[in-house]
Structure 1
Amino acid sequence: MYQRVRRRKVAEINVVPYIDVMLVLLIIFMVTAPLITQGVKVDLPQADAEPLDEDSKTPLVASVDAQGRYYLTVGANDKEPMSAEEVAILVKAHLAIEPGTPVVVNGDGAVSYDAVIQLMVMLQNVAGVPSVGLMTDSVGE
């Protein structure tokens, strides 16, 4: 008669389907991640923020007053109202001469949030400012 040959059971897990699923998920996440991230990158001030060093470069101060007019101040220069595009072009020109100069936005408390954001977008897109600081008053003032 026939003798049955008993096979040993294999106790291995086939991981190939798991690798395929993992690679598909990786591709999906790589494609969707840039679409999810939106907005303007801003270095937000902290509650116990330190003032700028006295020996650092004089910052460029882009201001928005309560009426939504834009100004650019370098040191103690007089201010003339201008458009957000003009501010960004002047900042770009100044940064070409003196790279690494800090740029801060000084917005009036009564100005609309949109006016400040539009200025920050112009500074980043047109002038190429890597990070924009926000000026605030001290709590005690």
Structure 2
Amino acid sequence: MLRTTRHKRFKLKSEINVVPYIDVMLVLLIIFMVTAPMMNLGVDIQLPQTQAKSLQDKKDPLVASVDENGQIYLSTAGSKREPVSAEEFRARVTAYQKANPGLQVLVAGDERANYGKVYLILPILQQAGVSKIGLLSQPESSGTHGRP
């Protein structure tokens, strides 16, 4: 018996067929494009219009400073900086806060000061009930961008 049929050998392909993945991606893209406008979770409101100007804080803030050696200074508008101890600082800030519940305190720390000394006054301000605390800085001059 003679065999006339030839055996074909199929080579295995080592390529990934990405056509089905592209089809799935396009179907998902269409689904998300259709459903995205329906998922608007915001509330459409119209705010009233008025001629009123924005509020300006006319009260001068209390300024707490820490120098290079860790000495705490306290100053108010129109007064010069006076050195205070941590306990005096706590007492004065508490008194200012009770007299003015909306008190704003600005913290100015010398860049050469120990971070721990500057941080010491933040918990005192929190315990005194001060909720408006800001940090003071100076604008950077144009020639100091590359300093180490």
Residue in structure 2 matched with residue 75 of structure 1 by the alignment: 77
Q: Deviation of residue 62 (structure 1)? A: 0.6
The letter for the 2-side match of 1:68 is: G
Residue in structure 2 matched with residue 84 of structure 1 by the alignment: 86
Q: Deviation of residue 56 (structure 1)? A: 2.8
Q: Deviation of residue 80 (structure 1)? A: 2.2
The letter for the 1-side match of 2:74 is: L
For residues 10-49 of structure 1, give each alpha carbon's deviation from its aligned partner in whole angstroms, at most 9, with x where no partner exists.
Answer: xxxxxxxxxxxxxxxxxxxxxxxxxxxxxxxxxxxxxxxx
Distance in 2 (alpha carbons) for counterparts of 1:78 and 1:131: 22
Aligned residues: 88
Return the TM-score normalized by structure 2. 0.54
Q: Deviation of residue 68 (structure 1)? A: 0.6
Report sequence identity in percent.
40
Aligned runs of 1:46-57 on 2, under 5 Å?
55-57=57-59
Contact 1:85 1:122 in 2 (8 A): no
For residues 65-103 of structure 1, give each alpha carbon's deviation from its aligned partner in whole angstroms, at most 9, with x where no partner exists.
Answer: 111101110013122211122112111111211221211
Residue in structure 1 matched with residue 119 of structure 2 by the alignment: 117
Residue in structure 2 matched with residue 16 of structure 1 by the alignment: none
Distance in 2 (alpha carbons) for counterparts of 1:102 and 1:78: 18
Distance in 2 (alpha carbons) for counterparts of 1:124 and 1:72: 16
Q: Deviation of residue 54 (structure 1)? A: 6.5
Aligned runs of 1:1-141 on 2, under 5 Å?
55-125=57-127, 127-140=128-141
SS of the residue 1:67 aligns to: coil
How much is the aligned-residue C-alpha RMSD, in angstroms?
1.9
Whose Rg is larger?
A: 2
Choose between structure 1 and 2 for higher RCO, CA contacts under 8 A separated by at least 6 residues. Answer: 1
- Which sections of structure 2, spanning at least 5 residues, go unmatched? 1-54, 143-148
Contact 1:70 1:83 in 2 (8 A): yes
Distance in 2 (alpha carbons) for counterparts of 1:122 and 1:88: 6
Return the TM-score normalized by structure 1. 0.56
- Which sections of structure 1, spanning at least 5 residues, go unmatched? 1-52
